[in-house]
A and B are shown apart, each in its own frame.
Chain A
């Protein structure tokens, strides 16, 4: 049945109708128009809230604009953004935080997922506990972390001090503030990584493990040679979604450092740069140009990630 439908879709009406019984064609009452009606809400949404803004943003990037007065200035905004120190600083911050978040969270999350998957007791309990940070809002989490990482009265430095480690200034010091954000990002994202890994761990066929056991492979060997290679697609998915999220980072750095990412712009991300230029400075043209550069970075980066991970969409 399905094949027939596909064939009919592929060939123009004339060719398909030759093979069709007259009885069937009278039964087919619905016109394509009905289907378009089903799609109206979504496509009105896509048109108004996706396609229009994308093009309007492109147009604005060639104008000097504060929302009411507009001047065409060509590529001037792009030049301004691309030669601006704060912009590249924001790009650097975004990538720095993103890289370490991903490099730390994916392997760590995978190890925890493997442990949870093979623990005889409390599997469900651990799933619930480890995933909890991910459902709580990042805004509230950032608020809590400002205290947890406080250099003098925070719990982290208190414990570090007890064990005899140096106590960094975390968010009060530009040289360590990015690490504070990374810590928060890892804490918030790890539950998601664990849940995705767990779902895919359970999809690996048990027969492979059985065969390996018969051949005398140890638990660690099975993990290294069966589990890890079978998780390729999962890691690729996490890498791509992780990067898309990381490149758009805004909420937590805004709560922790305001629109300019203090201290000393050390945690201002690309999103925060756009917000700062657009909504505290009302430089819509510059913000739009920055937005397009960011959009390109995301697209290029996603493409590279897709290639690297050999993923097919």
Chain B
């Protein structure tokens, strides 16, 4: 196959994959779409207007859900990434009894889906009266087998001689970790932050279970409830809402795409 032909094929299918997004944006800006979906479908709105977006922002629930998602995501990322850095470092450089067994336990957690844990975790947080708070979304992210695994792999590549040198200078384990290895862990920390951010921001099932209070809904929850309430009516509004909801992650993606793609590839390839 010639290069030009490949290029055209890829461009065609790329546009096909983008079509739902393109249509979404176009319908969102179509004033008449709020009354009935434009048919036949058109790419350029007949009556272009920001009407639908105006309503989305006026309503205020979207902004509230943004704030909620931001609180949950930032706290989860901080907690999950730091706990995984500690654990990954210990599994890489530590020497202690039961290391292998504990590490296998960590890997096993990768195989455990959310479903069997759903009801017990719900009851657990109910018993300490933390349902309808953000704590149930934040605290369980402290354990993340994938991040620990990636982190261990990274520290494995850093030489042990650094430790020995620091030990000779009389540094304790914590000092060695914080002063010597942590400053070198920038690249893997960035990867972990990106992965944890995407997972947390897009999480749906668990928040659906623990957050009954609409005021606390995260972005995906607000979207789902809007969608279930209105079905396929209010097309213009729905599309405007969908556009605004995915905008932050798309912007993040376009700026950091190189690192995001690398992180995903890394977690996938190394997971092998």
A interface residues (Cβ-Cβ under 8 A, vs B): 1-2, 5, 8-9, 27-30, 32, 34-36, 38-39, 41-46, 48-50, 52-54, 56-57, 60, 67, 112, 115-116, 118-122, 126-148, 150, 152-155, 158, 187, 190-192, 195-196, 198-200, 203, 219, 233-234, 236-237, 241, 244, 247-248, 250-251, 254-255, 258, 270-271, 274-275, 278-279, 284, 287-288, 291-292, 294-295, 298-299, 302, 311, 313
Contact = CB atoms under 8 A, between A and B. Distances in A.
A254 B224 contact: yes
Contact of A129 (B18, B113, B123, B242): B18
Q: Is the interface of B mostly helix, strand, loop or mixed?
A: helix
Given A139-B223, A147-B27, A199-B268, A284 B97 contact: no
B256 to A, nearest CB: 10
B115 A274 contact: yes
Contacts of A119: 3, 6-7, 10
A7 to B, nearest CB: 12
A5 B99 CA distance: 13
Nearest to A247: B113
Contacts of A152: 39
Interface stretch (B44-52, B53-61, B167-175, B185-193): B167-175
Interface string B72-84: 0000000000111
28 contacts: A28-B167, A38-B89, A38-B173, A41-B82, A42-B86, A42-B106, A45-B139, A57-B120, A60-B120, A120-B7, A131-B260, A135-B198, A137-B249, A140-B245, A140-B246, A142-B227, A144-B239, A146-B227, A147-B232, A158-B39, A190-B17, A248-B113, A248-B114, A248-B115, A255-B228, A279-B122, A287-B119, A288-B119
Given A42-B87, A130-B14, A275-B205, A52 B120 contact: yes
Nearest to B160: A1
B71 interface: no
B90 A112 contact: no
B202 interface: yes
Nearest to B136: A49
A302 B107 CA distance: 14
A127 B115 contact: no
B271 interface: yes
Contacts of A187: 17, 20
B134 interface: no
Nearest to B37: A153
Q: Is the interface of A mostly helix, strand, loop or mixed?
A: helix
B232 to A, nearest CB: 5
Nearest to B205: A250
Contact of A195 (B89, B112, B227, B261): B261
A275 B171 CA distance: 52
A192 B268 CA distance: 9
Contacts of A120: 3, 7
B271 A291 contact: no
A46 B113 contact: no
B1 A219 contact: yes
A210 to B, nearest CB: 19
Given A152-B39, A251-B204, A295-B113, A35 B18 contact: no
A233 B96 CA distance: 33
Contacts of B86: 38-39, 41-42
B250 A132 contact: yes
Interface string B250-272: 10011001001100111011011
B126 A278 contact: no
A133 B122 CA distance: 31
Contact of A279 (B11, B177, B209): B209
Given A119-B3, A153-B39, A38 B90 contact: yes
B40 A158 contact: yes
A92 B172 CA distance: 57
A53 B121 contact: yes
Contact of B220 (A140, A155, A190, A291): A140
Given A121-B7, A135-B260, A291-B115, 16 more contacts: A35-B99, A38-B87, A45-B142, A48-B124, A60-B119, A67-B123, A112-B13, A121-B3, A122-B7, A132-B18, A143-B226, A190-B17, A234-B272, A244-B113, A274-B118, A299-B111
A71 B181 CA distance: 53
Contact of B173 (A35, A198, A258): A35
